[in-house]
DNA sequence: CTGAAAGCGCTTACAG
DNA sequence: CTGAAAGCGCTTACAG
């Protein structure tokens, strides 16, 4: 025979102790069962107007905020989505995260940002950490993890991948039309009369870097110009890379009148390199970037570039995630890349 | 008499169903009770070597990862700390967040970033959202919330505030020595022989903006120079603000040979303004910024500025939070601001 | 040193 | 339409 056990309240961490209002208190106050309150909260059932009212009042009166942690445990949802980014502090990712945050928050979800720093092991750790937090979904921005790895994670949780090509049941991917953007940039230079157009590449580990290069080449060939490997310099999407590439180009004594850089950061580094060697932009050489991030507008001279709304990219990724979560098919409509003519390019006079 | 109830397993969201390993499975596998596993996990009790071993093995074998959501509910901790930032996408905050993330992650905590966008209501919403997520602590980066509001939130949860002066039981605050930094910057200009030094201010809503201005003024006065309000232009910490300030300054026909801008972004905007008006940096005017964020190094010309390790700032904020969480007194040692001489300043020749 | 049991604040099949 | 009850995966007073 069991002795009757006196129930005990734990002192620490108890919601009531911390002055927090629980769903149970709301129920008592409204004279209904907790189940009913829960249903009203989740819109899970239609409830008589009277109870609806009573519960609404109680919620307002007590200032009840449902505890997402408990919801997560009980319902298997956490209303959080994990975001694997590469560096929070780069302007590119910063804007994307901003878009993700805005859109997710509007839907009551909270993003958990974790950086992978372009290291496969770190990305893996990040994903694991996020999964152990029981995120409802995962947004992956580029990165170095093999597609296979992503695909297998996608079996555990809905996933949207930005900047790669992946298909699957609860797996959605999309990205900018990098080829189109590069076409536009290169054509702009061609239309200005340039024919010796150098290209400073992005990090070849990124798909988008390859696509941009393909667009550059395509534009050249469409214009009947031979693709000249001597005019293609390696880069890594950083300013330092752009600077170094320009030095190399100048040292090689290859004639050129324009440079298309794989991203704005590269272009800005290139501009500094040119400045140091006394070559003037745009008088001596025209320069085009890619992305149109904040710094482009205030570089000297202001940089002609291709606008990609990175903010929109993030926002659309979040929207796609929300669709997946709701069991719908995501639809993404990203604005087409656009040329933003500023002062770093000009018509070739010679 | 109650009828015996057959227990039922819910199909969805059940850990076991999702192939997830639970603590209970570990316990069974190791032949001990769940309590013991929990204690081992938390280092809460000393356990016999044999059981310790058995549990360790089981954890490894099954690949057990404790569920933070359940831990949060049961133990009142979530191993997460909320971070209220202003804009994730600014270079300043981006670096700070990076520092926070690195340090927190190393301690097993995850940061939840929410932006306030410099709007008091949004900041309040952000804080509420974070609290309802039961974060273990709160890091607040600047913002517009009144000190009183912060202080009252600090009663619910440990808090560290960056860039303000606040004291309290579980409340710690610290920030850069902005006055010292501004002193250094201004002195550098003075040492170069400049006496007509303009100052483009930061957003006056920020304490640090005021401190920087005070440092500027102090340096002037220490040098026996009169503070001239005509040389102080309003700004807002953005490039656009810097550009506008320079235009105003030039239009006012106030003679000046140097500019100290309240932050790098302002300086970069100012540089563009000068470039547009054909005034050369540093030949005609010397220019100094503040912060030494990434763009400063590649601006044209590379910007002389004051180095503040924003990354360190974030990392130290996280460390302080960790101390608070462990019941220790935080100690913060931020590196002193340092002048980073580059190419935007030079000795006055005239 | 260790286990059984209650509890964290919700959600949701069951059973009216 | 609505309630009682079980369960989510842990932690932690209690009681040896």
Closest CA to A299 of A87, A94, A91: A91
The answer to whether B45 CB is within 7 Å of strand D is no
Mean pLDDT of A223-238: 96
B283 in reach of chain A (CB within 8 A): no
Q: What is the pLDDT of residue A4?
A: 36
Q: What is the pLDDT of residue B88?
A: 80
Give the model's pLDDT for residue B6: 38
Q: From 3.40.50.300, 3.40.50.1820, 3.30.565.10, 1.10.260.40, which CATH number describes the A12-66 domain?
A: 1.10.260.40
User: If DSSP codes are grouped into helix, strand and coil, which group holds residue A226?
Assistant: coil
pLDDT over threshold 70, residue A35: yes
Inter-chain touch A113–B114, beta carbons under 8 Å: no
Chain segment A259-269, per-residue pLDDT in tens:
999 999 999 99
Per-domain residue ranges of chain B: 12-66, 78-176+310-325, 178-307
According to DSSP, the residues that pair with A114 across neighbouring strands are A84
Q: What is the DSSP string of B138-181?
A: EEEES-SS-HHHHHHHTTTS-EEEESS---BTTEEEE---HHHH
Average pLDDT of chain A is 90
Q: Span B78-176+310-325: which CATH code?
A: 3.40.50.2300
Q: Which of residues 49-78 of A touch strand D (CB under 7 A)?
A: 50-51, 70, 73-74
How many angstroms from the chain centroid is the CA of residue B332?
14
At B233, is the secondary structure helix, strand, or coil?
strand
With residue A219 as reference, give the H or E element that holds it. helix A207-222
Chain A residues in contact with B134 by the CB 8 A cut-off are 67-69
* A11/D3 CA-to-C1' distance in Å: 29
Tokens of B58: 């089981």
A278 touching B (Cβ < 8 Å): no
Instruction: Return d(Cα A22, Cα A24) in angstroms, integer.
Output: 5
pLDDT at B350 (0 to 100): 60
Residue of higher predicted confidence among B183 and A20: B183
Pairing outcome for strands A110-115 and A159-162: unpaired
Map residue B88 onto helix, strand or coil: coil
Interface of A with B in 233-262 (CB under 8 A): 239, 243
**Which chain B residues are closer than 8 Å to A123 by Cβ?**
none
Query: Would you state the pLDDT for residue A137?
Result: 94
CB B96 within 8 A of CB B317: yes
pTM of the model: 0.84
The size of the A-B interface in CB pairs under 8 A is 131
Are B12-66 and B78-176+310-325 in the same CATH fold? no
Place of tokens 């040098």: B223
A195 pLDDT tier (thresholds 50, 70, 90):
very high
Q: Which residues of B spanning 64-83 put their CB closer than 7 angstroms to strand D? A: 64-67, 70-71, 73-76
Under the banding of pLDDT at 50, 70 and 90, the label for residue A132 is confident
Residue B110: phi and psi, rounded to 5, are -120, 135
- State residue A171 phi and psi, 5-degree precision: -130, 125
10 Å CB burial of residue A191 (0-12, 13-18, 19+) is: exposed
Task: A8-17: list long-range contacts, CB under 8 Å, 24+ apart.
Answer: A12/B76, A13/B75, A13/B76, A13/B77, A14/B76, A15/A67
CATH architecture designation of domain A178-307:
3-Layer(aba) Sandwich (3.40)
Question: Quick check: B198 and B169 in contact, CB under 8 A?
Answer: no
For residue B118, what are the CA distances in angstroms to A64, A101, A245, B82?
27, 15, 39, 17
**3-state class of B8 per DSSP?**
coil
Place A116 in a pLDDT band, splitting at 50, 70 and 90: confident
pLDDT band at A200 (very low <50, low <70, confident <90, very high): very high
Q: Is B266 on the interface with A (CB under 8 A)?
A: no
Mean pLDDT of A181-208: 95
Question: Please, what's the b/e burial string for A243-278 (b: 16 or more CB within 10 A of its CB; e: otherwise)?
Answer: bbbbbebeeeeeebbbbbbbbbbbbbbbbbbbbbee
- Residue of B18, B76, B89, B315 to mutate when probing chain A, most A C-beta within 10 A: B89
- Measured in angstroms, the CA of A221 and the nearest CA of chain B are apart by 33
**Structure tokens given for B132:** 């309802």
pLDDT digits (tens, 9 = 90+) for B163-182: 988 988 889 999 999 999 99
Instruction: Give me the pLDDT at residue A205, please.
Output: 83
Q: For position A175, what pLDDT does the model report?
A: 94
Which B-chain residues 81-100 have CB contacts (< 8 A) with chain A?
87-91, 94-95, 97-98
Residue B325 half-sphere exposure, CB side, CA atoms within 13 Å? Answer: 23
Residues of chain B short of pLDDT 50, as ranges, are 1-17
CA of A75 to C1' of C9 (A): 11
* Structure-token match 């600077």, residue found: A243
Report B:288-307 residues touching A (Cβ under 8 A).
Answer: 294-295, 297-302
A22–chain B Cβ distance below 8 A for any pair: no
Contact (CB<8Å) B69/A66: no
pLDDT digits (tens, 9 = 90+) for A287-325: 999 999 989 999 999 999 999 999 999 999 999 999 998
In angstroms, what CA-CA distances link A15 with A179, B35, B125, B158?
Answer: 55, 23, 21, 17
Report chain B residues whose CB lies below 8 A from the CB of A266: none
Given CB atoms, is A322 within the 8 Å cutoff of chain B? no
CA of B187 to C1' of D7 (A): 68
Range A177-183 average pLDDT: 97
A-interface mutation test, from B77, B86, B88, most A Cβ less than 10 A away: B88
Buried b (16+ CB within 10 A) or exposed e, B223-254: eebeeeeebbbebbbbbbbbbbbbbebeeeee
- Say yes or no for a CB contact (<8 Å) between A89 and B66: no
Label residue A169 by pLDDT band (50, 70, 90). Answer: confident
Residue A18: predicted pLDDT: 54
User: Residue A303: which of A319, A285, A321 has the closest Cα?
Assistant: A285
Report the range of poorest mean pLDDT among A102-116, A154-168, B8-22, B33-47: B8-22
C-alpha B198/C-alpha B260 separation (Å) is 6
What is the full DSSP assignment across A133-170? TT-SEEEEES-SS-HHHHHHHTTTS-EEEESS---BTT
Q: Which of A112, A98, A88 is nearest to B98 (CA)?
A: A88
The answer for B 138-177 residues in CB contact with A (under 8 A) is 156
Write the DSSP assignment of B311-347 as a string of letters: HHHHHHHHHHHHHHHTTPPP---PPPPEEE--SS---
User: CB distance from B108 to chain A under 8 Å?
Assistant: no
Residue A271, classed as helix, strand or coil, is helix
Per-residue CB contacts under 7 A with strand D, chain A residues 6-35: 8, 10-13, 32-35
Residue B134, chain A, CB below 8 Å: the answer is: yes
Three-class HEC string of A196-214 = CEEEECCCCCCHHHHHHHH
The pLDDT assigned to B337 comes to 96
Q: How far is A73 from chain B (nearest CA, A)?
A: 6
CB proximity B38–strand D (7 Å threshold): yes
- What Å value separates CA B182 and C1' C16? 75
Distance A113 CA to C4 C1' (A): 40
- Sheet of strand A232-233, all strands in order from the earlier edge strand to the far edge: A232-233, A197-200, A258-261, A286-288
Q: A73, B76: Cβ pair inside 8 Å?
A: no
DSSP for A227-252, please give it.
P-GGGEE---SSHHHHHHHHHHHHHT
């Amino acid at each position: 025979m069991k002795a009757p056990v006196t129930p005990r309240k734990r002192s620490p961490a108890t919601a009531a102790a911390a002055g927090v209002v629980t769903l149970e208190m709301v129920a008592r106050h409204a004279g209904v069962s907790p189940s009913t309150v829960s249903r009203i909260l989740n819109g899970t059932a239609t409830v008589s107007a009277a109870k609806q009212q009573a519960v609404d009042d109680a919620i307002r009166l007590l200032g009840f905020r449902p505890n997402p942690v408990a919801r997560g445990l009980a319902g298997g949802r956490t209303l959080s989505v994990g975001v694997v980014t590469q560096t929070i502090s780069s302007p590119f990712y910063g804007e994307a995260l901003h878009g993700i945050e805005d859109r997710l928050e509007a839907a009551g979800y909270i993003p958990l940002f974790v950086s992978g720093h372009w290291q496969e092991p770190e990305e893996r750790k990040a994903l694991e950490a996020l999964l152990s937090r029981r995120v409802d979904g995962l947004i992956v921005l580029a990165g170095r993890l093999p597609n296979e790895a992503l695909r297998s994670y996608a079996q555990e949780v809905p996933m949207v991948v930005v900047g790669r090509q992946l298909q699957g049941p609860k797996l959605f991917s999309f990205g900018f039309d990098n080829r189109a953007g590069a076409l536009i940039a290169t054509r702009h230079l061609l239309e200005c009369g340039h024919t010796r157009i150098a290209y400073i590449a992005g990090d070849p580990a990124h798909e988008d870097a390859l696509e941009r290069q393909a667009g550059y080449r395509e534009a050249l060939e469409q214009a009947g110009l031979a693709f000249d490997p001597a005019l293609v310099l390696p880069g890594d999407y950083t300013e330092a890379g752009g600077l170094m590439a320009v030095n190399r180009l100048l040292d090689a004594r290859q004639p050129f009148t324009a440079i298309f850089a794989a991203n704005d950061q590269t272009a800005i580094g290139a501009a500094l390199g040119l400045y140091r060697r006394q070559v003037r932009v745009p008088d001596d050489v025209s320069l085009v970037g890619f992305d149109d991030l904040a710094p482009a507008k205030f570089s000297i001279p202001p940089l002609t570039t291709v606008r990609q709304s990175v903010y929109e990219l993030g926002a659309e990724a979040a929207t796609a995630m929300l669709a997946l979560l709701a069991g719908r098919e995501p639809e993404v409509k990203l604005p087409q890349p656009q040329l933003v003519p500023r002062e770093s390019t000009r018509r070739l006079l010679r």
